[in-house]
Chains A and B, each alone.
Chain A
Amino acid sequence: MKLGVRHAASSLAPPSRRRRGFLPAAVVLAFLLPGCGGAAAPVGDAPGPVPGGADGARPGVASVLPDGVPALDAPGRHLLVVCVQDEAQVAIVDMDSYEVVHRIHLQELGYSERAQPHHAVVEPDGSHFYVTLIGENRVLKFDRKYQVVGEAPMQAAGMLALEKGGARLFVSRSMSAVNPPQRIGIVQRSTMEIEELDIFFAQPHAMVVDPEGRYAYTASLGVNQAASVDLDTERVTLVELEGPNHVIVQFAISPDGRWMAGSGEMSGELVVLDLAADRANPPVALRVPVGHMAFDPTFSPDGRQVWVPVKHTDEVVVLETEGWQEVRRIAGRGIDAPHQVVFSRDGALAFVSNNNKNPHAMHGPVEDDGGDGAVVVVDTASGEIVEVVRLGRNVTGIGTRPRMP
């Protein structure tokens, strides 16, 4: 079987090799770059409570950088961190105006054109954010002014999850190695020191932490198993996932902590686990067909819906959690190989990242396929596409400041 050829023609920029032992140099370089003035937060600047209210504005901290770029924690601003994987860039998008307010060019920081930023999470107070570079085998820590202030090396780093109310960052594996370690990474966010925890199965990829901060969960790409990690004892419990080969890509947990939904790339099912029944070993409550190549699911802020990007059909499938019925499939302009969904704080808008390349290509570059990926803004009430923000080749992970638990 063949698909039609999709023509596009951007070529790679001239390659530059990342400098070895580069971090100090990279950080220094970042300081020297135009528009990157100002002192960076110290590496050990630990995330803390949010003193500035709901928006997290911190008294005495400049919210606008010298070049006019809003800081990630600027009061009243809602910013989206976007991985543009095949461009080795991280874009910052204003979630109200849909403008790109800043771009981080990783090559300018000494990383290779194949750095492949893949997934991003943001501290609740906006003080820092973290990005996995699956082509560089590491996790980067940026401060509110988009400066690299730390990194943690980890082979085939994949997905990220913040410990709610805690100090740790959990990191899973990508597919960028033949046989990556069967462990997840546990990073102390303040120091970026990393330890690894044995998870027992191959290819632990999904990564999520429950709202209470009691358990982290991951799942294998190769076997029908998930695992819970007791965050107090770090005891790992295997969770059997019934059904066909799922290849769980990512989990999402409902805001009330009741449900955990996993997207089955191969099975095309959303696997729903009942955390209320057993947080350490949750049973599968039901399995809902959504379509092959189901990717990162997300619960709406009110917990009434789950949005599931489905790459195979270029749709976002919306399910009501009351009865787990499908209520809508969103398709159209810009939705091409949808990857992840982030909601605005009030839940009125959904921001959908799109690879805009052939399915599953987000783990590898495609130079002339599909053109620029996009973040597509969707009105959650009507399902209408509000805006398409083209950002570059292979838009993958997106993150914004999560609502405080």
Chain B
Amino acid sequence: MSGPGVASLVRALGVALLPVLLATACAGAGAPGVAGPSGAGMDGAGFERDVYALSVLDEHGEPYTHPFLGGLVVPRPQFVDLDGDGDPDLFLQERSGELMYFENTGTAEAPRFEWRTDRFGDLPVGEWFVFHDLTGDGRYELMSELPYSYIRVFRNEGTPEAPRFEPALDSIRDVDGRPIFSDRQNIPQLVDLDCSGTLDLLLGRIDGMITHYREEARVDGFPRFRKVTDRFENIEIIGQIGSMHGANAMAFIDWTGNGAQDLLWGDFFEPSVLLIANRQPCPGYDLDTPPEPLRTPEGNLLTSGHNVPVPVDLDGDGRTDLVVGVLGGAFNPVLTASNNLHHYRRGEDGLFRKMTERFLDGIDVGSESIVEVGDLTGNGLPDLVVGNKIDPVENRTARLYLFAGEATGPDGALAFRLADTLSLAPAFHYAPAMGDLFGSGRADLLLGTWNDGVRVYRNTGHAHSAAGPAAEPAAQLAADPAADPAAAFPGFEEVPGLTLDLTRGSHAVPALGDLTGNGLLDVVVGRSSGQLTLFRNVGTREEPAFERVTDEMGDINVGRRSAPYLADVTGDGLLDLLVGREEGGALLFRNVGTREAPEFEAVPEFEAVPGFELPLFDLGRPVPVDLTGDGRLEVVSGANTGGVLLFRDGGAGWSAGQGVGTGTGNKP
């Protein structure tokens, strides 16, 4: 997690950003702030995700273990020793159709999970996945949904060390060859209940009951099942106030230590994880017992509901720990939008101690994060400003999370620290953009919102005397989200009368840049329709005034939820347009006009450029900036999953020397 030295970073940033600052300071001079050789290549190898590029500290000063993971909202985990090295690896589904893989590079006693990929084997896993050795050959097969609601099977045709999963079955079938359906929102389970050497297939149903199939034959090595009952063991999960059970997940494990497979259950209407004890060891089984919520020393295990329980011994002590993916059910999922992968350790008293609510810890502000980069603390280092859709703590507004850039370690490596948070207006979906709008040399703030347009905030200057980074981490933030933001960052005050309203639609995402060559920062606003609105700055350096030019800028429409950013990524001195969108990825529109009269032509999606990829998550807004000080631009982005992603240039040729040209004018 080492970063570059500050000296080199400042050099790099200076090269990249000084022209922009100068351009802004010399408003009216017509300089767009970008200079450098033209023809930056877009034919390189594209951008590659780097989860661990820089160190990021949380509000307690502790480093995130996966700082740029991108956040989690609906994590569905499973631990499997896929590589056969004796410790469990972690697979996790966050997005439909994709499977994340974290290799355990630690030991059976001290696991260390490292992100490897967001799309394990590029396998289309639908809404769920389960690894199980279906064929009994000692290798795991992968079951997943084949939309809609079929149970597809992939077989490992590779080795444990180099798995290669290939489609094997389009559907698990019954003894008559008919496909067996499993509702796509539920995660099925396989277990040998009676120790007969044959498999039982259990399908949770939305009514709180379980359909039981039993293996009765094998075809090509794969089991065929016969349905036993739709009311397995007469189990019907009864909630606190009646029988009302929705999407669900379950797990079998000998929880009570009597040699029998007990059942753990979580569902939409259940705030806890329920244990249904199996009273009879093999060769029988008896789960006709009342469900009981799992308990902690503080009471029942409780979340926002729809919990995915995953038993696993993570520390090799012989006791089963529990990892719970909290998908969020009927108990306000917003509350768990950022803390939703819980780890419990079971004590000798049988109770569960919560070890963390962020088993894969990284920047995670809830959902629909949007990132801006700039030096707000005035220490010459970039800070990260991350907005969210709705604050997980105070649900009546969104919030900005301010990560201060600071030099750390003997080599002065850049790191970020969660130093403060800021709630500026009672609005949702904060989308920040920064630039010097009032000629003060400081970064002012545009704040896009869900349905209140774009608000303009003036930077009132540093509220404390220290010009450096925040002196103390805002350790109290989690408990007191209303902590004074001026303690670490400058204050902002809204400028009445400058709000930029959308003609129609919602989810305003602003970008700043001088598009008209008058030295003033214009505003491009993305919105829900996927189109862009252009506001021209017709004011002065000290008093901006915005005039709507068009709601269909360049006839650009990127689908849904356009999220623009202005930067010269082609090195021709003109601001190009990068646009994220709901469906993920980003589009690049090269500026083929002039500084005074730009025209934008659509460049195909990044992936359409040979060798070029920028695999943003859904709802990302790409911000090109050199954070690592290697002289090349990275791209940072938020995501629908609430975190921050960082992509390194794998050959696209976007060098800092060619100028990031964000147009924000706020960089050192």
Contact = CB atoms under 8 A, between A and B. Distances in A.
Q: Do A and B bind each other?
A: yes
A93 to B, nearest CB: 25
Contacts of A58: none
A360 B244 contact: yes
A364 B304 CA distance: 23
A345 B266 CA distance: 44
B242 A233 contact: no
B148 A136 contact: yes
Contacts of A178: 74, 76, 96, 127-128, 185, 247, 327
Interface stretch (A38-46, A296-304, A366-374, A384-392): A366-374
Nearest to A3: B236
A363 B238 CA distance: 17
B334 A223 contact: yes
Contacts of B329: 222
Contacts of A179: 73-74, 96, 327
B17 to A, nearest CB: 34
Interface stretch (A49-57, A143-151, A196-204): A196-204
Interface string A106-130: 0000001010000000000000000
B207 to A, nearest CB: 4
Interface stretch (B190-198, B378-386, B501-509, B510-518): B501-509
Given A175-B185, A175-B247, A200-B450, A358 B207 contact: yes
B242 A312 contact: yes
Given A178-B127, A222-B328, A266-B330, A360 B230 contact: no
Interface in A1-59: 1-3, 5, 12, 14-15, 17
A265 B330 CA distance: 10
A376 interface: no
Contacts of B186: 364
Interface residues of A, number: 52
A16 to B, nearest CB: 10
Contact of A358 (B243, B327, B528): B243
Contact of B505 (A2, A200, A221, A234): A234
A258 to B, nearest CB: 26
Interface string B450-481: 11000000000000000000000000000000
B218 interface: no
B208 interface: yes
Interface string B229-247: 1110011101001111111
Given A245-B332, A292-B241, A360-B207, A236 B451 contact: yes
A257 B551 CA distance: 35
Contact of A363 (B206, B243, B288): B206
B548 interface: no
Nearest to B332: A223
Interface in A315-368: 357-361, 363-368
B25 to A, nearest CB: 39
B333 A175 contact: no
Q: Which of A12, A178, A312, A365 has the most chain B CB within a 10 Å cutoff?
A: A178
Contacts, number: 151
Contacts of B148: 112, 114, 135-137
B391 interface: no
A196 B560 contact: yes
Interface string B21-39: 0000000000000000000
B184 interface: yes
B42 interface: no
A12 B179 CA distance: 11
A176 interface: yes
B72 to A, nearest CB: 11
Interface string A230-243: 00011111000000
Nearest to B308: A178
B127 A177 contact: yes
Contacts of A363: 183, 206, 246
Contacts of B304: 222
A222 B330 contact: yes
Contacts of B593: none
A2 B234 CA distance: 7
Interface in A179-231: 179, 196-198, 200, 202, 221-224
A399 interface: no
A266 B304 CA distance: 14
A268 interface: yes
Contacts of A223: 332-334, 395
Contacts of A265: 244
A2 B289 CA distance: 9
Contact of A233 (B74, B330, B504): B504
B230 to A, nearest CB: 5
Interface in B321-348: 327-334
A369 B207 CA distance: 11
Interface residues of B, number: 60
B330 A247 contact: yes
Contacts of B76: 178
A99 to B, nearest CB: 31
Q: Which of A17, A176, A360 has the most chain B CB within a 10 Å cutoff?
A: A360
B428 interface: yes
B301 to A, nearest CB: 18
A293 interface: yes
A231 to B, nearest CB: 13
Given A2-B236, A234-B505, A361 B206 contact: yes
Given A2-B236, A358-B209, A176 B184 contact: yes
Contacts of A135: 148-149
A245 B305 CA distance: 12
A198 B288 CA distance: 44
Contacts of A361: 205-207
A236 B506 contact: yes
B290 interface: yes
A176 B205 CA distance: 12
B155 to A, nearest CB: 22
Given A1-B238, A137-B148, A223-B334, A369 B231 contact: yes
Interface in B146-190: 148-149, 178-179, 181, 183-186
Contacts of A224: 332
Contacts of B507: 198
A234 B502 CA distance: 12
B269 interface: yes
B559 to A, nearest CB: 11
Interface string A243-283: 00101000000000000000001101000000000000000
B127 to A, nearest CB: 6
A1 B185 contact: no
B261 to A, nearest CB: 19
Nearest to A224: B332
26 contacts: A2-B236, A3-B238, A14-B178, A15-B178, A112-B148, A175-B185, A175-B206, A175-B247, A178-B127, A178-B327, A198-B506, A198-B561, A200-B450, A222-B330, A222-B333, A266-B330, A292-B242, A293-B243, A312-B244, A358-B209, A358-B236, A359-B243, A361-B206, A364-B207, A366-B209, A369-B209
Interface of B: 73-74, 76, 96, 127-128, 148-149, 178-179, 181, 183-186, 205-209, 229-231, 234-236, 238, 241-247, 268-269, 288, 290-291, 304, 327-334, 389, 395, 428, 450-451, 504-507, 528, 560-561
- 6 interchain residue pairs of minimum CB distance: A361-B207, A364-B206, A1-B238, A292-B242, A358-B207, A312-B242
Given A179-B73, A223-B395, 19 more contacts: A2-B238, A3-B236, A137-B148, A175-B206, A178-B74, A197-B528, A200-B450, A202-B328, A202-B334, A221-B268, A223-B333, A233-B504, A245-B330, A247-B330, A312-B244, A359-B207, A359-B244, A360-B244, A366-B205
